[in-house]
Amino acid sequence: MKIIVTGSLGNISQPLATELVQKGHTVVVISSSPERQKDIEALGATAAIGTLEDADFLSATFTGADAVYCMIPPGLSEPDRLTYYSRIAGNYAKAIQRSGVKRVILLSSYGAHLDKGTGIILGAHKAEVALNGLPGIAITHMRPTYFYYNLFSFIAMIKSAGVMTASYGGDDMIQLVSPIDIAAAIADELETPAAAGHKVRYVASDERTASEIASVLGAAIGKPDLKWSVITNEEMRSSMESHGVPAVLATGLLEMYAGIHNGALAEDYYLHKPAVMGKVKLEDFAKEFAAAFKK
């Protein structure tokens, strides 16, 4: 198959493109950076240099493809992330319609089943809705859970204060996922026959409480007594804003964290939990965490 991969050589797109090439597919990787072309070609893929803001470029690139993997970069610097998500999703919708491609995978998120109260994840919900309206297209919304690499944000705190704190933690259950397992699930989904319409597929690698996560990471970095405690929303907001997080983004993050704390983000995940979990377990990630911690 000819498959278009968006996301340049990011955490998911690079292992995805690599696996698809190895399986014999013709792969085109979209990147906004001309400097990435050599690296993309080194994988055995073709580079398409352009921007997701250009619907005409996307349409031309999608034309002739059997399938497309669509992701929307986080856009954390965007002043209005919901408008940004809607705009990029709208460009994807236009390109899909114009190009005639019939198989689409959208990178979404757990919590995207909710239409309010999820903060920055609400953009994923809006993207799903935008593509669901396309007639005659087989669409899979991939909903990964909490990315392991989000835990890297605690490194500075552990080094300075010796603890992990957030407005979620403690006994909260966190559904963890590795980009490697997401890429494998997307590759599998691309090779799975699908009828027109939309479906949802969750991806997760492990499930642990925040306290268990702290214990495993602590053991890996030589701090076996490491704890992850819960602080108030007010304390969390103050901490984020003291580190330069814009107020609007802080509000979105607090809503998302509340969804982790009260279980709302994962409620639909547990109704449609993947039959097989990913291969990368917390103990595997802990080695990567320890390496980053030592730098």
**pTM of the full predicted structure?**
0.96
Domain of 281, in residue numbers:
206-294
Same structural domain, 218 and 188: no
CB atoms within 10 A of CB 121: 20
Q: Do 232 and 214 meet the contact criterion of CB atoms below 8 Å apart?
A: no
Same structural domain, 183 and 224: no
As for how many domains the chain has, the answer is 2
Q: What is the mean pLDDT of residues 34-49?
A: 97
3-class SS of residue 251: helix
Q: End of a domain among 171, 203, 235? A: 203
Same structural domain, 218 and 184: no
Average model confidence (pLDDT) across the chain = 96
3-class SS of residue 138: strand
Instruction: Answer yes or no: is pLDDT of 74 > 90.
Output: no
Give the CATH number of the domain where residue 67 resides. Answer: 3.40.50.720
3-class SS of residue 104: strand
pLDDT (tens digit per residue) in 202-251: 999 999 999 999 999 999 999 999 999 999 999 999 999 999 999 999 99
Q: Do 174 and 146 meet the contact criterion of CB atoms below 8 Å apart?
A: yes
> Which amino acid belongs to residue 94?
K
Which pLDDT belongs to residue 77? Answer: 80
Q: Do 53 and 73 meet the contact criterion of CB atoms below 8 Å apart?
A: no
Is residue 69 included in any domain, yes or no? yes
User: What interhelical angle do 81-99 and 122-132 show, nearest 10?
Assistant: 20
Tokens of 109: 């998120």
Which pLDDT belongs to residue 279? Answer: 98
CB atoms within 10 A of CB 36: 16
DSSP states along 156-216: HHHHHHSSEEESS-TT-EEEEE-HHHHHHHHHHHHTS---SEEEEEEE-SEEEEHHHHHHH
Q: Do 282 and 215 meet the contact criterion of CB atoms below 8 Å apart?
A: no
Same structural domain, 215 and 231: yes
